[in-house]
Amino acid sequence: MISTIHALVNENIYVHVVKYSRTLKQSASGITMCITVTLVDGLVVARSLFHHSMNYRSSIVFGQGRLVTDAKEKFEALMAIAENLIHGRWDEAQEPDKKELRATSVVAIEIESASAKTRNGPPVDDDEDYELSIWAGIVHIKISIFIWN
């Protein structure tokens, strides 16, 4: 599945998909799907290129996909997706109208199994590299959201 916005609600991941996409056709057929999410928190810069890394949080989820056809579930899933994107936005912005709801599809993936991996911490160099006068540390990555009023 290509990158898209999503939300986790109980044991389901809801994904916004384009109405006539291959992803929608495949997920509606009930196949097992795989979803991966990685959040990069920082670049870990070591004294040796071999020990460069990144601090991250990553997960992989497997589950059976289905097209959300119930109007109430679809509406609530879209609300959860919007809130996952920017908390509080659902109450600030104009809700989708009937035409927009018809043009939008949501796929639900019930989580059957999942795995996660993280890395957090400073660079770890070989003992002899700590004597080098080369900067090492973490380049933090932050996401900023600009809202125009």
Domain annotation for the chain: domains and CATH numbers: 6-140 (2.30.110.10)
SS3 of the chain: the string is: CCCCCEEEECCEEEEEEECCCHHHHHHHCCCEEEEEEEEEEEEEECCCHHHCEEEEEEEEEEEEEEECCCHHHHHHHHHHHHHHHCCCHHHHCCCCCHHHHHHEEEEEEEEEEEEEEEECCCCCCCHHHHHCCCCCEEEECCCCCCCCC
Partners of residue 137 on adjacent β-strands: 45
Q: Fill in the amino acid letter for 119.
A: R
Q: Which one, of 74, 91, 102, lies nearest residue 9 by Cα?
A: 74
Instruction: Convert the pLDDT of each residue in 86-133 to its tens digit.
Output: 899 899 999 999 998 888 889 999 999 999 999 999 999 999 999 999
∠ CA 110-21-64 to the nearest 5 degrees?
15
Q: Judge whether residue 145 has pLDDT over 70.
A: no
Instruction: Convert the pLDDT of each residue in 22-36 to its tens digit.
Output: 766 777 777 888 888
With bands split at pLDDT 50, 70 and 90, how would you rate the model's confidence at 9?
A: very high
- Please give the model's pTM, rounded to 2 decimal places: 0.74
Q: Judge whether residue 44 has pLDDT over 70.
A: yes
